[in-house]
Amino acid sequence: MEGVPVGGLLRSELMPILRELAEKTNRPPQNAMYYVESGEVIAEKPGVMVDLDETADQVLKAPENGVVRLTTIVMQPTITAEYFKPIYQGPPHRKAMALVINVAWGEEFLPAMLDILESNGVQATFFFVGSWVRQYPELVRKIAQGGHEIANHGLYHGHPTQMGRSELVRVITENQELLAQAAGQEPSKLFAPPYGEVNDKVAATAAEIGYRTIMWTRDTIDWQRPAPDTIVARATREMTNGNIILMHPTSPTIVALPRIIKTIRDAGYKLVTVSELLDGGAPES
């Protein structure tokens, strides 16, 4: 085993040798990195860790004069190069879409929206602004308890592309703490930039602290309060795998929402949260 004779050793005698070999073999994963000077993203690298117990088992079961190699486990990085790109659409291999609801003002239409989602068995992803969370923490908890995904829309509704790195980090991390406290659970590490403002710096800063930057495929522009028919048309235009549909809690959206859900499902699509859309596994047959 790596040139080290271990025949005849008891497990208690073997383990210190394995630990010493592991120290020379283990290699931690490296997260992807962004270099501001060049705008270059350096790809992630997997790591390697020795499985001490499995290696010991293999040694103890090995025949006399047998050769045993260290059993290793591949350790995947937490942050991949994909984190540094804004996400406008989910993977094309899965017939699914996600409803995204940005919440930065008002609360009067949320109960009706939640009732519609519940009655249709749909779980959506809600992105909250911190200033709103401070006003309505009980609603955040209710939404979380309903099985919906809780995610980050920034501490306040500022302009991310005009912020320095330290302010952008604060806007994300402080809001994450507010959300965790209000929801009673850890929010998803997804960031929807206020105003939909994103550039390389915004996406890279979010990625460096472990967040994926979420945009949208279809924007209903419902904050302008158009007719429900218009909202439905915008949400269901050119339906394709992985669409992310952006909405807000408004009066016409409440009218449009049941029709949006029905139209999407009638076309054969599943409605899932953003995290489920992004991490939904292998292609479907």
Check whether residue 42 and residue 182 sit in a common domain: no
Check whether residue 184 and residue 156 sit in a common domain: yes
Buried/exposed 216-248: b ≥16 CB within 10 Å, e otherwise = bbbbbebbeebebebbbbbbbeebebbbbbbbb
Check whether residue 167 and residue 111 sit in a common domain: yes
pLDDT for residue 285 is more than 50: no
Cα separation, 248 vs 40, whole angstroms: 35
Check whether residue 65 and residue 143 sit in a common domain: no
Check whether residue 49 and residue 113 sit in a common domain: no
Domain that holds residue 238: 85-278
**Considering the domain boundaries, does residue 239 fall inside one?**
yes
| Residue 280: band (very low, low, confident or very high) from pLDDT cuts 50, 70, 90 | confident
pLDDT for residue 161 is more than 80: yes
Check whether residue 114 and residue 224 sit in a common domain: yes
If one counts every other C-beta atom within 10 angstroms of the C-beta of residue 71, the result is 16
Helices 200-208, 165-183: axis angle to 10 degrees equals 50
**Considering the domain boundaries, does residue 92 fall inside one?**
yes
CATH of the domain at 165: 3.20.20.370
Q: What is the pLDDT of residues 35-53, one digit of tens each?
A: 777 778 889 999 999 999 9
Check whether residue 56 and residue 113 sit in a common domain: no
Q: What is the pLDDT of residues 59-96, one digit of tens each?
A: 999 988 888 899 999 999 998 888 899 999 999 999 99
**Considering the domain boundaries, does residue 3 fall inside one?**
no
Q: How many domains does the chain have?
A: 2
Pick the last residue of a domain from 58, 80, 102. Answer: 80
| Residue 8: band (very low, low, confident or very high) from pLDDT cuts 50, 70, 90 | confident
Pick the last residue of a domain from 80, 96, 129. Answer: 80
| Residue 218: band (very low, low, confident or very high) from pLDDT cuts 50, 70, 90 | very high
